Amino acid sequence: MARTQAVGYVRVSTVEQVSGFGLDVQEQAIRDYCRANGLRLVDVFRDEGQSGSNGLESRVGLAEALAALKAGPATTLVVYRIDRLARDLILQETLVERLRDQGTPVRSASEPDLDTDTDDPTKVLIRQIIGAVAQYERAVIRGRMMAGKAAKREQGGYLGGTVPYGFRLVDGQVLADDAEQEVGQLIARRAAAGASLRTIASELEEAGYQPRTGESWHPNTVRRIALAFTVVPAGNPLKMS
């Protein structure tokens, strides 16, 4: 008798990657679950660094998993935990019902009592409670992050993200970088004089200036730096060439 075919889906957000709940850990748990329950795992789809509250438009791995299930022959979706599917209760239940309508149950490798191919009201209630708790935890984490950023902003601390060109990060503080400030001012002066972005890029390379990343200066990089170091008058856009 042929075994039921399944696809796996794993997801981590940035916070969970740091905490150690990695994609490989989830995938191994899914493989162990399928082996123990007589399922044939045919593929595993991944979303790395994606919040469980994000929709399908940004969660490519989940969209691919759903498409694979719709196309067949796999008829079961296996996740590490039900909150990997979604950390928003409404989104979770919408996805569960969508899959049930096409005859595709969702199985949780860590929560075997939450299989969605049942109308048992107790199991449905437990699944929804767990979904609500996951949504609450996400809201609490978000609130803590916002509070932390607000406190750091008041202290003049670094809030994360790419440090603007012309500055560098030192002990959590953003300080001016003299070398990049010099290049930024040079770019601004040449742009104000009417030089094109491509011309400025060529001049920088000829003068031996190195970009922060990459081996050569790109016109779009020059554009961003020029806009950061000078005010471009309305109706006088920077010229590409």
Which residues are the active-site residues? 13
SS (H, E, C) the chain: CCCEEEEEEEEECHHHHHHCCCHHHHHHHHHHHHHHCCEEEEEEEEEECCCCCCCCCCCHHHHHHHHHHHHCCCCEEEECCHHHHCCCHHHHHHHHHHHHHCCCCEEECCCHHHCCCCCCHHHHHHHHHHHHHHHHHHHHHHHHHHHHHHHHHHCCCCCCCCCCCCEEEECCEEEECHHHHHHHHHHHHHHHCCCCHHHHHHHHHHCCCCCCCCCCCCHHHHHHHHHHHCCCCCCCCCCCC
For residue 192, is it left (φ>0), alpha (ψ between -120 and 50) or beta? alpha
